[in-house]
Chain A
Amino acid sequence: MIGLSGAASVVGIGATEFSKDSGRSELRLAAEAVRAALADAGLGPSDVDGLVTFSMDANAEIAVARELGVPRLRFFGQIGYGGGAACATVGHAAMAVATGLADVVVCYRAFNERSGHRFGRMAAGATAAPTSGGIDNGWQYPVGLATPAATVAMFAQRYLHEFGATSEDFGRVAVAMRRHAATNPRAWFHGRPITLAEHQASRWIVEPLHLLDCCQESDGAVAVVVTGTERARDLPHPPAVIAAAAQGSGADQFTMTSYYRDDLTGLPELGVVAAQLWAQAGIGPGDVQVGMLYDHFTPFVLVQLEELGFCGRGEARHLIADGGIELGGVLPVNPHGGQLGEAYIHGMNGLAEGVRQIRGSSVNQVADVRNVVVTAGTGVPTSGLVLTAG
């Protein structure tokens, strides 16, 4: 993997507004975000020769290429496992660039997740597909475990039991994200921080998760442009060098329901990612100034801190106490407000914030950022990145 670290960089980021009803098609959102990212990179559609997205994205690479007027594509692909794909889109793009398969690859995610198909509802037809995934879903949907919140709640309950954590520990994550979002004009919850008491008073969704443990649902799109680091140095913004990129899946892995392993309190698939990230980048948790951690549900933010090595097993609640993951804390997490505060764009908005933190251009900028770790969807086969100032 020596060949990948540092070979490619993120040179452009773009997004639509984040809303509850975009009023336009998902393909248009994708095209707008890709065009914005290219403009940010100082490039145009004719420079693009690669596109990567999520297998859950409704907009095929060729459809996006048509709208942009991309004359030819040499590299394209879709990554599976929901939000677990987020960092892997950039990882695959970096591999393509590093190996010469492509020069400029744009990674995108676009959806009307709030006004259209909502992930928080039970996915109709989840058990109908004659696939291994359809078979897997047959063990949980019919018996009433049928939403993302419910699948995470099952982990969370065991985590509380084993480590003596409380719902308030989950709540501190939500409070931190909303505090960050409150000063981010792009965030849906701009100007609307919450207190721990408000978290505790919010209604149950699936015990032990309150409403405010669950991220919002959003319409919007984010795209990022990846190219070779050498070329990146000629472009307008300082490159966010991809120091490490990894995917991970653990033993006896399921999508959201890896309930049959010996231990139910960790995220071994992220452990697989973390080991690769530190090895590729040649750094450790202590070298990271900002964490961009996937926060669709609060409990897994604690577990990610543990799997990445920022603290020991079951100790994340101590790390997050007293503002540990807030701006000014020991490890600021998601200065943009995360998916709990800014928007739920399947992790891609966190990736874009990671680039801003490297550039020094965030509205909630952390001082002296050298390395940012970025994670993707949790509870699923996942991915991660280390971005480094070039």
Chain B
Amino acid sequence: MSAGVAPAPVDAPDAARRIEETARRLVEAGDCAPRPARDPVNEPMINNWTEALGDANPAYPGQAPPAMVQVWTMGGLHGRRAADDPLGAMSAVLDEAGFTSVVATDCAQTYARVLRPGERLAIRSRLTGVAGPKRTALGEGWFVTTVSTWTVDDEPVAEMMFRILKFRPPPPPEPPREVPRPQVNRDTAYFWEGTAVGELRIQRCGGCGALRHPPGPMCPRCGATRPGYVVASGRGEVYSFVVHHHPPLPGRRAPFVVALVELEEGVRVLGELRGVEPGAVRVGLPVEVGLDRIDDELVLPAWRPR
């Protein structure tokens, strides 16, 4: 499994058509030219294999382990894919369409007979199908299936169906956003604890019931020092707003809108207004709260149109 860098997006229907046309052409082309194995089936390589895998079957190395068949025709340390290799051609077109990551999904080998040291194998491959685009857990992708045939002289001795998923890598996760973090103290903790659990809380005086934001420890109306809070409906209107262009600010991509929202409850709260083009924002725009989660510890008040 390897992830590449996604190229610029290609028009999707156009890309799908090109993939399907390439697939049809390659399927029609059939087998590529046979490629001979570097070495004949041989005891030293069988012994290396059984030693590494810990396979003590006494039938080896007099005969080759059947599941070792692909080893004989591996390209090796400096191997290059043959120019007519159908998987190479298909992958190039899928790469171009943005399906740059690959993962093998299925491998089915059948063995017609036992292979013994001294036999010389060759392999040829053909594309048998390309299916997609499909949604997978890894991302949108195409399943590419090839069938390879091993021969000794012209006798087919083994066959392998091999299927890979070529998929579009999911966009890299957004880097953690670094925003200035609010100072939280006894007077303000309820607010930030509220946003963390999805509530927009407004301070409510325990003496006279007055609502107040930003909060403070003593009610300026009645003098009580028993602040509580209510959970706001979250609905309000833009009382004023700005569109920030310059300078760049950490954790935000300009232009962005910050709105001073007057809530139904009558208090005003600042927050970023998201989900609306800056040019479409007006004083009086109806909005509702939509919290902005920075990380596990900080959730900011924010707004979205309603």
Contact = CB atoms under 8 A, between A and B. Distances in A.
Interface of A: 120-122, 126-130, 134-147, 150, 153-155, 157-158, 161, 203-208, 252, 257, 259-260, 264
Nearest to A214: B246
Of the listed residues B179, B213, B244, the one surrounded by the most CB atoms of chain A closer than 10 A to its CB is B244
Contact of A130 (B183, B214, B220): B183
Contacts of B252: 144
Nearest to B188: A135
B260 A130 contact: no
Specify the main secondary structure of chain A where it touches its partner. loop
Contacts of A158: 239-240, 283
B86 interface: no
Contacts of B300: 142-143
A139 B184 CA distance: 10
Given A260-B267, A264-B239, A264-B240, A142 B180 contact: yes
Given A141-B180, A154-B241, 11 more contacts: A121-B247, A135-B183, A137-B180, A138-B183, A138-B188, A139-B270, A142-B294, A146-B180, A204-B243, A204-B255, A260-B268
A142 B181 contact: yes
A7 B96 CA distance: 83
Interface string B200-218: 0000000000000110000
B249 interface: yes
Nearest to A129: B183
B249 A146 contact: yes
Interface residues of B, number: 42
B300 to A, nearest CB: 5
B235 to A, nearest CB: 18
Contacts of A140: 270
A130 to B, nearest CB: 6
B245 interface: yes
A105 to B, nearest CB: 36
A122 B247 contact: yes
B184 A138 contact: yes
Interface string B119-141: 00000000000000000000000
B214 A136 contact: yes
A207 B245 contact: yes
Contact of B246 (A130, A145, A204): A204
Interface in B255-297: 255-256, 258, 260, 267-268, 270-272, 278, 283, 292, 294
Interface of B: 179-185, 187-188, 213-214, 220, 239-247, 249-252, 255-256, 258, 260, 267-268, 270-272, 278, 283, 292, 294, 298, 300-302
A155 B239 CA distance: 10
B35 to A, nearest CB: 60
Contacts of A205: 245-246
A267 to B, nearest CB: 15
Of the listed residues B185, B260, B300, the one surrounded by the most CB atoms of chain A closer than 10 A to its CB is B260
A204 B242 CA distance: 11
Nearest to B185: A135
Contacts, number: 120
Given A122-B247, A161-B240, A138 B283 contact: no
Nearest to B256: A144
B188 A143 contact: no
Of the listed residues A144, A147, A257, A264, the one surrounded by the most CB atoms of chain B closer than 10 A to its CB is A144
B184 A154 contact: no
A128 B220 CA distance: 26
Contacts of A150: 242, 244, 258
A208 B240 CA distance: 11
A143 B272 contact: yes
A257 B292 CA distance: 21
A141 to B, nearest CB: 4
Given A139-B270, A144-B272, A260-B268, A206 B183 contact: no
A122 B247 CA distance: 8
Contacts of B180: 122, 126-127, 137, 141-142, 146
B242 A153 contact: yes
Contact of A206 (B214, B244, B294): B244
A207 B245 CA distance: 8
5 contacts: A143-B301, A146-B249, A206-B242, A207-B278, A260-B213
A142 B239 contact: no
A206 B258 CA distance: 10
A139 B214 contact: yes
B182 A139 contact: yes
A199 to B, nearest CB: 16
A129 B268 CA distance: 24
A157 B240 contact: yes
Contacts of B181: 127, 138, 142
Contacts of A143: 258, 270-272, 292, 300-302
B183 A154 contact: no
B182 A138 contact: yes
Of the listed residues A126, A157, A208, the one surrounded by the most CB atoms of chain B closer than 10 A to its CB is A157
Contacts of B214: 136, 139, 260
Contacts of B247: 120-122, 147
Contacts of A121: 247
B182 A259 contact: no
Contacts of A259: 240, 260, 268, 270
Contacts of B245: 203-207
